Amino acid sequence: MCGVFGYLGQSGQAAREVLAGLQRLEYRGYDSAGLCVVDADHHTRVIRAVGKVNNLRVKTDSMDFSSFSTGIGHTRWATHGGITEANCHPHTSQSGRFVVIHNGIIENYADLKAELIAKWYTFQSETDTEVTVQLFEDMFDGDYQSTMTRLVQRMHGAYGLVFIDRDNSWVLFGTKKWSPMVLGFGTDARYISSDYRSLIGLIDDYIILEDGDIFQITSDNYQILSEGHLADRTRQIVDESEKIAELGDFPNFMLKEVFEQPRVLEDVFRGRIDFSSYSLHSDTLAHIATLGIKRITVVASGTSYHSGLLGKYYLEELAGIPVDVVVSTEFKYKKKFVTPDELYIFVSQSGETIDTLDSLKIVKEQGGHVFGIVNVPGSAISRAAGQGLFTRAGTEVGVASTKAFVTQVACFLFLALYLGQKNGLDYRKYREIIDGISKLPEAISTLLLQNEAIKQVAEKYAHSHNFFYLGRAHELVIAMEWSLKLKELAYIHSEAYSSGELKHGSIALIDAEFPSLMINWGGILSPKNASSAEEIRARGGKVVWIIAKWDTNKHIYADTIEFDSLISELNPFLEVVILQLWAYHIANSLGRDVDKPRNLAKSVTVE
C-alpha cells in the first residue's frame, strides 16, 4: 500500500519522471498523490493533490520544472488522517530542509509526536509519517546514515522511507522495514521504487533492499548499511521479457485480464504437465513429495484465501491430505503447532501482503516446511519461501484479482495431482482431470463468447442492494469469491452461503428485492440446490441460476446463465469466469471504476 518513487538524474527531468513513476505505482493507492523536486540552487517545490495521479498531473501541467534534477513522489492509501491535501505526502520538516515520502505505518507515532510537540515542533497533518521527518531533523548530526540509524531505533512499525534534502540535490536517502523497496540503476539516472516493475524500461539492473537497510544514493555512487556495516547487495539484471502491462483495445484492465485467462491457463501448466504422456514435472514438487507430508495448512488473504479453500478441496479429494485454510491476519496471532510432517503453503498474487509474509516468517523460524504460490517473481514472499510455484499470470493491474485467482487454483490442482499420484489417486480420475485441463483454455474462450448475454442478465439486477451467492461444496467457494468481488467492484452488499444452510435463519431476509445467485453444475447436490431454489421462490425471492446447459429445472428460475459443464473438478474455472463478468457488468453499469475501486489498493503492505 502506498507507492514511493524517487529519481536522481538529468536536470529538468525530475518532475516528469516522478509523475510517470507514480502513474505506474498508482495501483498501490489512489487516495492522493504528491511530489517534491529539488535543484542545485536549493529550491524545492512540493505539489500535492487529492485523488488520482492525474489530478497531480493537471496541477503541475503549467509549472516550470526545468532546473530540477532530483525528486520523490508518493501515491497514498490513507491510514492515518483523512483524504485531504494536508495529509498528502510528501511531508516537510519544520525548517523546510528535509522532505519525506513513506509507505507503512509508524505505530508509535503518537508518542513521538507528543515528544516533538513538547520541543515546539508544529505539525501540518494528521499523519504518522510527518513525525519521521520532524524527528529526523531533530536528530540530524550532519550525516544522513548515522542519523537514520538512530531514527530507526525510535520508530516501531513498517516503513519504506525516502528523504530529500533541500541543501543537497545530489542525494536521496532512506530506509525500509517490511515495506518493499528497490534501487534501480539506469544509464543516466538512479531510481527508488516500491515495485521493480515500475522501473522496467528505465534501468539496466537493480537491488532489492532488505529489511533494516539504510541507503544513500548519488548519481555516481551508492551505499547500503545493514546493522551498522556496509552491505554488498547483489545487483540483478532486468528481465527483458517482462513488459509493462498495456490496455490494447480493452476499456479497462479488469476486462482485459478476464479475457487473458485462456492464455494464462496454458502458461501455468506449460512444462509442468505433459498432456501426451500424462506425466507431471516439477523439481520443487519432487522434493516436497519426499517430505512425508501428512497435513497442509494454507495461509492467505482475500481472493488468495479463496483459492486456498479450493486447494483444500483438491488436496483432500485427490491427494488424501487433510488441509486447514486460515486467513493470514488470524494465522499470524494464533497458536501454532509446527511439525515436520506438515507443509505450510502461503498464497499471494503480489507476494507482498504483510500478514501472509509475517506468517511465513514465523513458521520458518519455527522450522516448518514453507511453500509459496506467488505471482510476482522477486517479491518478498517468493524470496522468503525459497520454494513453491509461480502462477505465471503476468502483471495483474486491476485491483480485483481475476486471472491471478484462476492460476492460483491451477497451481493447487497441479500440486494435488502431483501428490495424488504418489498417494494412490485412481489413475482413471488422474487421466480424466489431465484431459480436462488440456481442454480448459478452449472451454474458457468459448464461455467468454457469452460476455454480452451475461451482461444483459447482470444489468437487470444492477440496482439490487443485496445478493445471496449460493452453492454447495467447492461451488460455495466460488460463491464466496464472487460475493467478495461484487462488494469490491460494485459496492453492493452480498453474502455467500451454503444453499442448504439458508433455512436455518438467513432465509428470513428473502423478499422480491433480495435476489440470489445459485451456482450449480448439476452434480449429486443439484436436486438439493433445486429444492433450496424452490424454497426461495416460494417466499417471493428471485433466483438467477448459473447452470449446466442440460439442466431440466429451468422453469423455477427467474433467469439462467447456461454453460457447457466439464467434469466436477474443473467446473470452478468456468463458474468463476461467469461471475467475474457478472460483477464486472454490474459495477460498470453503475459507473464504478473497476480497475481502482474505492478505498482499496492492489497490495496490502500494512497491518
Task: Please identify the residue of the shown chain whose CB is closest to the bound ligand AGP.
Answer: 302
Nearest-10 crossing angle of helices 129-139, 109-118: 50
Q: Which of 312, 332, 542, 602 is catalytic?
A: 602
- The answer to whether 411 contacts ligand AGP (rule: CB under 6 A) is no
Out of 127, 129, 216, 349, the only residue in the binding site for ligand AGP (CB under 6 A) is 349
Q: Between 445 and 484, how does the x/- string for binding to ligand AGP read (CB under 6 A)?
A: ----------------------------------------
Which residues within the stretch 109-148 sit at the binding site for ligand AGP (CB under 6 A)? none
For residue 374, the cross-strand partners are 348, 390
User: How would you list the strands of the sheet with 205-208, edge to edge?
Assistant: 44-50, 32-39, 68-76, 3-8, 190-193, 182-185, 205-208, 236-237
Out of 401, 516, 565, 580, the only residue in the binding site for ligand AGP (CB under 6 A) is 401
| Three-state secondary structure readout of 409-448 | HHHHHHHHHHHHHHCCCCHHHHHHHHHHHHHHHHHHHHHH
- The answer to whether 532 contacts ligand AGP (rule: CB under 6 A) is no
Closest CA to 44 of 4, 71, 9, 10: 71
- The answer to whether 60 contacts ligand AGP (rule: CB under 6 A) is no
Q: Which is nearer to ligand AGP, 224 or 299 (CB)?
A: 299
CB 196 within 8 A of CB 376: no
Residue the block writes with cell 534534502: 165
- The answer to whether 388 contacts ligand AGP (rule: CB under 6 A) is no
Interface with ligand AGP by CB under 6 A: which range of 243-251, 298-306, 575-583, 588-596?
Answer: 298-306
| C-alpha to C-alpha distance for 176 and 180, rounded to whole angstroms | 7
CB of 584 to ligand AGP, least distance (A): 12
- The answer to whether 520 contacts ligand AGP (rule: CB under 6 A) is no
Cis peptide before 90 (omega within 30 of 0): yes
- The answer to whether 602 is a known catalytic residue is yes
Interface with ligand AGP by CB under 6 A: which range of 38-46, 76-84, 343-351, 568-576?
Answer: 343-351
Out of 13, 350, 359, 395, the only residue in the binding site for ligand AGP (CB under 6 A) is 350
- The answer to whether 169 contacts ligand AGP (rule: CB under 6 A) is no
Which residues does 556 contact at the CB level (< 8 Å), separation at least 6?
530, 533, 534, 537, 543
Number of residues binding to ligand AGP, judged by CB under 6 A: 15
- The answer to whether 502 contacts ligand AGP (rule: CB under 6 A) is no
**Within a 10 A sphere around the Cβ of 51, how many other Cβ atoms?**
14
Which helix (H) or strand (E) segment holds residue 74: the answer is strand 68-76
- The answer to whether 494 contacts ligand AGP (rule: CB under 6 A) is no
Interface with ligand AGP by CB under 6 A: which range of 79-87, 272-280, 297-305, 516-524?
Answer: 297-305
Q: Which is nearer to ligand AGP, 203 or 400 (CB)?
A: 400
Q: Which is nearer to ligand AGP, 99 or 354 (CB)?
A: 354
- The answer to whether 399 contacts ligand AGP (rule: CB under 6 A) is yes
CB of 350 to ligand AGP, least distance (A): 3
CB of 333 to ligand AGP, least distance (A): 18
Helix, strand, or coil here: 277? coil
Residue 443: phi and psi, rounded to 5, are: -60, -40
CB of 560 to ligand AGP, least distance (A): 26
In 3-state terms the chain splits into helix, strand, coil percentages (rounded to 5) of 40, 25, 35
Out of 75, 103, 125, 356, the only residue in the binding site for ligand AGP (CB under 6 A) is 356
CB of 6 to ligand AGP, least distance (A): 24
How far, in Å, are 309, 313, 481, 522 from residue 305 at the CA level?
Answer: 6, 13, 9, 26
What is the gyration radius of the CA atoms in the chain, in angstroms?
A: 26
User: How far out from the chain centre does Cα 324 lie?
Assistant: 22
- The answer to whether 571 contacts ligand AGP (rule: CB under 6 A) is no
Out of 60, 87, 304, 407, the only residue in the binding site for ligand AGP (CB under 6 A) is 304
CB 135 within 8 A of CB 151: yes
Positions marked catalytic: 2, 602
Q: Which residues lie near ligand AGP (CB under 6 A)?
A: 301-304, 348-350, 353, 356, 399-401, 488, 603-604
